[in-house]
């Protein structure tokens, strides 16, 4: 591809009727990565994506997509699956894919043949010539996804791609996303389902209330929270005084607590020196879900302060 | 850049054309004029039957003795050749006089079996003619009839006063009425076709909005391309429609006997081939201007109810343009004709009528240039309106097809 950044946005602002939906979002998406835009409902994810794609213009800020300041100039190299799925019900599935490809510059005939191949590969070979109105919602959603891929874009933008899909189709979609990155494309997707983000994202941004609250890798996000430990002493009597102050007694005589900044070793040393012994110990890194809740929750607390 | 824009426009146009034409409902649409004619014929036949019923019972009555009666009947037969059937006076009935012919005449107006509009009674040279409130023309006819009987008697045995030789002469040029007929035909035909086709543009976006396809389109291509594509797709449908009915009409005319050929009644001043060519050009202009307006206005509606509500003022606007242009066709050269020829929305209609009434070609070249300018202005405005309406993301008008230059890629 050659672009070091597939996409760059600085200070994007968009207001609707006096309400700021997006309030100065910055994003830098490196090429050939799976990049997640995470945020709760109404955070401004879809508006941000629409501005990045040139569907709407920002009130303020700049964006550069695949080296072009006007996203439409790179239009033929972009694939997009909107949050609100839309296909012509009277079109045949293969035609719908070819049509979406043709909008992006792919010849109809090539779009038709590629569409049929892609549907075959995605397990939809039996409905290639079915009209969209006869497909299930999940099938139609996959057809639309294939339509956004048929011209082999350099940048694939998926807005809440997993919503409405059953677990089987969710897994299919995850495979497609990985395959696109392996092909060399950059995948940018929005979601509020952390499990998908944790499995898929090379990097991610968390947006809340129209602002970017975090940017980094999944590990970076998880590292924003301290690790949690679960200690089971041989003699629990009086051990709580030796543990960090937030330690709470859990079932089975164990204690849950946050690993202090100096690490778990000093805690273990105090417990063993106190003669309580250690029957079991587990240390867990926080999940992306925990990090997300913490970042977004912190944002809410700041708002109410 | 232009090439890509054109390609995107054609993709949208192709989709819309196929989506409209390759459906069973298009067949109904294609045959709509036939249905309109059918309903018109049924309505006309019903009205004619009602009228006939009333005419059948209408009478003018002459109260005359056995000697005068046949002469009146003969004179009536001669006089009726002057009138077209629809303009002829009511049928004549001869009644034998009774003791008081005037009283008899008055009584006839109250008769239930016939509707009497006028009655002649008394001596034929000094008759009394009675008529109802709307029977003055019938009364005048009875007077003419009496005069003819009297003059016939004076002329002698054969009743002929003047011996005339009738010779039919063919005109070499078009008459004023045949030109005006061609003008009205042009205005009405363009109005009818644009009414059928252009007003469809109002609801063109309903499908995209209902199916949420508009965001897919807006993300992939400029909305100006979507707008032009839709216009072009609909234009393709219009050409198909015109082609179908044009070919069918031409075949139908060729099958008609010469005395019934419609074309013989239409004698445009500019000549039939040029008139046909200008008709097509002006139809295209009218279609593009009106469709662009309708598409832009229709984009402001988000529900079928709103689309239906918008359709009414649009149809009224079309009717207004039709009325203005029809007035122009009826008054060639009058100020109202000039206004209609200059006003962009009525110009295509009025100029088609002018082609029927005036042989000069140069006003058409000017008019086509003028209309082309307005086509571009209206399409540009329509596309802006379309963008604002579809995505509610307007923010002032900007020059069309404006693009910033790509900048150097940022580094991570």
Query: In this structure, what CATH number is given to the domain that contains residue B66?
Result: 3.40.190
- Do residues A228 and A298 touch, judged by C-beta distance below 8 A? no
How many angstroms separate the CA atoms of B347 and B324, rounded?
Answer: 10
Same domain, B307 and B340: yes
Partner B contacted by A73 (CB < 8 A):
yes
For A76, name the nearest residue in chain B, comparing CA atoms only. B220
Q: B290 and B382: one domain?
A: yes
Q: Is residue B26 part of a domain?
A: no
The residue-averaged pLDDT of B228-242 equals 88
User: Which residue did the predictor score with more confidence, B53 or B15?
Assistant: B15
Query: What is the SS3 assignment for B404?
Result: coil
Do B405 and A69 form a contact (C-beta atoms < 8 A)? yes
Look at residue B68 and tell me if it is in a domain: yes
Sheet holding A255-258, edge to edge: A248-249, A255-258, A228-233, A278-284
Q: Is B130 in the same domain as B239? A: no
Kindly state the average pLDDT of the residues B46-50: 75
B38 assigned to some structural domain: no
Q: What tens-digit pLDDT sequence spans chain A (305 residues)?
A: 444 899 999 999 998 888 888 999 999 999 999 999 999 888 899 999 999 998 888 999 999 999 998 888 898 999 999 988 889 998 999 999 999 999 999 999 999 999 999 999 988 999 999 999 999 988 999 999 999 999 999 999 999 999 888 888 888 899 999 999 999 999 999 988 888 898 999 999 999 988 999 999 999 998 888 888 999 998 888 888 888 888 777 777 789 988 888 889 999 999 999 998 999 999 988 888 988 988 888 766 665 55
Is residue B283 included in any domain, yes or no? yes
Closest CA in chain A for residue B403: A70
Is B20's pLDDT higher than 50? yes
**Under 8 Å between Cβ of A239 and A233:** yes
Count A/B contacts: CB-CB distance under 8 Å.
94
From A42's Cα to the closest Cα of chain B, the distance in A is 18
Phi, psi of B222 (to 5 degrees): -60, 145
DSSP state string for A240-287? GGGS-TT-EE-GGG-EEEEPPTT-SHHHHHHHHHTT--EEEEEEEPPP
Tokens of B97: 């006089």
Question: Are A57 and B393 a contacting pair at CB < 8 A?
Answer: yes
List the single best residue of B217, B409, B411 to mutate versus A (max A Cβ within 10 A): B409
Asked if B118 and B129 touch (Cβ cutoff 8 Å), the reply is: yes
Label residue B165 by pLDDT band (50, 70, 90).
Answer: confident
**Closest approach of A176 to chain B, Cα-based (Å):** 20
Is B379 within 8 Å of B231 (Cβ atoms)? Answer: yes
Distance from CA of A188 to the nearest CA of B (A): 15
> Inter-chain contact A55–B217, Cβ cutoff 8 Å?
no
- pLDDT band at residue B55, thresholds of 50, 70 and 90? low
Question: What gap in Å lies between CA B281 and CA B352, rounded to an integer?
Answer: 9
* pLDDT of B409 above 50: no
* Residues B294 and B204 occupy one common structural domain: yes
Query: Diameter of chain B by CA atoms?
Result: 122
A103/B391 CB distance under 8 A: no
Q: Are residues B305 and B261 in the same domain?
A: yes
How many residues appear in chain A? 305
Are B314 and B280 in a shared domain?
Answer: yes
Q: Are residues B84 and B199 in the same domain?
A: no
B354 shares its domain with B214: yes
Q: Are residues B352 and B250 in the same domain?
A: yes
Whose structure tokens read 């569409």? Answer: A115
Q: Which residues of B touch A67 (CB under 8 A)?
A: 406-409
Note whether B105 and B215 are same-domain residues.
no
Structural domains of chain B, count: 2
Contact B11 A103 (CB under 8 A): yes
Would the CB atoms of B215 and A55 count as touching at under 8 Å? yes
DSSP B123-165: -SSS-EEEE-TT-HHHHHHHHHHHHHHHHHHHH-SS--S----
- Residue at B69 is within a domain: yes
Supply angle C-alpha B43, B45, B51, rounded to 5: 105
pLDDT at B172: 63
- Distance, in Å, from the CA atom of B194 to the CA atom of B196, rounded to the nearest integer, reads 5
The alpha carbon of residue B123 and the mean position of all alpha carbons in its chain are separated, in whole angstroms, by: 51
Q: Which of B213, B218, B396, B399 to mutate to test the interface with A (most CBs of A within 10 A)?
A: B213
User: In this structure, is residue B397 part of a structural domain?
Assistant: no
- DSSP 8-state secondary structure symbol assigned to residue A18: T
Pick the residue from chain A with its C-alpha nearest to B1. A73
Which residues span the domain enclosing B211? 176-391
Residues B247 and B299 in one domain: yes
- Does the CB of A4 have a partner CB in chain B at under 8 Å? yes
Enter the DSSP assignment of B96: -
Sort B126 into a burial class: Cβ within 10 Å, 0-12 / 13-18 / 19+: exposed
Angle at which helices A93-103 and B2-21 cross, to 10°: 160
Residues B121 and B72 placed together within one structural domain of the fold? yes
């Amino acid at each position: 591809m050659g672009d070091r950044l597939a996409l760059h946005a600085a200070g994007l602002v968009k207001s609707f009727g006096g309400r700021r939906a997006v309030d100065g979002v910055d994003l830098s998406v490196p090429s050939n990565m799976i990049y997640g835009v995470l945020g709760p409902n109404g955070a401004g994810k879809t508006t941000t994506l629409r501005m990045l794609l040139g569907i709407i213009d920002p009130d303020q800020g700049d964006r550069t997509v695949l080296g072009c300041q006007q996203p439409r100039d790179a239009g033929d190299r972009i694939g997009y699956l909107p949050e609100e799925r839309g296909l012509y019900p009277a079109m045949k599935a293969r035609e719908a894919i070819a049509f979406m490809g043709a909008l992006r510059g792919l010849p109809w005939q090539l779009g038709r043949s590629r569409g049929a191949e892609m549907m075959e590969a995605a397990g939809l070979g039996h409905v290639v010539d079915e009209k969209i109105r006869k497909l299930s919602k999940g099938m139609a959603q996959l057809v639309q996804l294939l339509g956004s891929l048929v011209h082999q874009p350099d940048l694939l933008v998926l807005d809440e791609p997993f919503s409405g899909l059953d677990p089987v189709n969710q897994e299919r979609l995850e495979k497609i996303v990985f395959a696109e990155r392996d092909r060399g494309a950059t995948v940018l997707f929005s979601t509020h389902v952390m499990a998908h983000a944790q499995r898929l994202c090379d990097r991610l941004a968390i947006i809340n209330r129209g602002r970017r609250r975090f940017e980094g890798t999944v590990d970076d996000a998880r590292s924003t929270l301290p690790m949690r430990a679960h200690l089971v002493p041989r003699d629990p009597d009086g051990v709580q005084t030796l543990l960090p102050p937030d330690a709470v007694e859990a079932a089975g005589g164990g204690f849950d607590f946050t690993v202090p900044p100096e690490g778990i070793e000093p805690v273990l040393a105090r417990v063993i020196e106190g003669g309580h012994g250690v029957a079991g110990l587990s240390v867990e890194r926080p999940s992306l879900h925990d990090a997300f809740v913490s970042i977004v929750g912190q944002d809410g607390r700041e708002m109410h302060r | 850049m232009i090439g890509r824009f054109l390609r995107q426009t054609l993709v949208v146009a192709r989709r819309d054309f196929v989506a409209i034409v390759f459906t069973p409902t298009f067949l109904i649409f294609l045959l709509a004029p036939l249905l309109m004619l059918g309903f018109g014929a049924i309505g006309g036949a019903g009205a004619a039957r009602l009228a006939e019923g009333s005419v059948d019972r209408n009478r003018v009555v002459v109260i005359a003795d056995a000697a005068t009666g046949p002469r009146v009947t003969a004179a009536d037969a001669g006089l009726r050749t002057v009138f077209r059937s629809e303009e002829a006076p009511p049928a004549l009935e001869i009644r034998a006089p009774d003791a008081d012919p005037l009283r008899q005449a008055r009584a006839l107006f109250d008769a239930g079996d016939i509707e009497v509009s006028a009655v002649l009674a008394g001596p034929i040279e000094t008759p009394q003619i009675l008529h109802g409130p709307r029977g003055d023309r019938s009364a005048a006819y009875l007077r003419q009839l009496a005069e003819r009987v009297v003059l016939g008697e004076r002329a002698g045995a054969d009743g002929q006063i003047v011996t005339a030789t009738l010779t039919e002469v063919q005109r070499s040029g078009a008459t004023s009425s045949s030109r005006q007929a061609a003008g009205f035909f042009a205005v009405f035909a363009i109005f009818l076709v644009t009414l059928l086709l252009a007003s469809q543009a109002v609801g063109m976006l309903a499908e995209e909005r209902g199916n949420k396809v508009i965001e897919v389109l807006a993300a992939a291509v400029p909305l100006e391309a979507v707008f032009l594509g839709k216009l072009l797709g609909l234009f393709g449908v219009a050409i198909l429609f015109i082609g179908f009915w044009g070919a069918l009409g031409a075949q139908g005319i060729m099958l008609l006997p010469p005395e019934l050929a419609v074309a013989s009644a239409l004698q445009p001043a500019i000549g039939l081939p040029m008139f046909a060519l200008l008709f097509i050009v002006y139809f295209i202009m009218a279609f593009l201007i009106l469709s662009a307006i309708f598409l832009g206005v229709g984009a402001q509606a988000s529900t079928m109810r709103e689309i239906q509500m918008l359709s009414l003022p649009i149809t009224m606007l079309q009717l207004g343009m039709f009325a203005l242009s029809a007035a122009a066709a009826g008054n060639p050269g009058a100020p109202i004709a000039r206004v209609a020829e200059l006003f962009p929305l009525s110009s295509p209609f009025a100029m088609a009528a002018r082609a029927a009434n005036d042989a000069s070609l140069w006003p058409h070249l000017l008019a086509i240039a003028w209309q082309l300018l307005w086509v571009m202005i209206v399409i540009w405005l329509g596309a802006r309106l379309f963008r604002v309406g579809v995505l509610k993301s307007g923010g002032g008008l900007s020059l069309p097809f404006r693009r910033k230059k790509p900048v150097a890629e940022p580094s991570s």
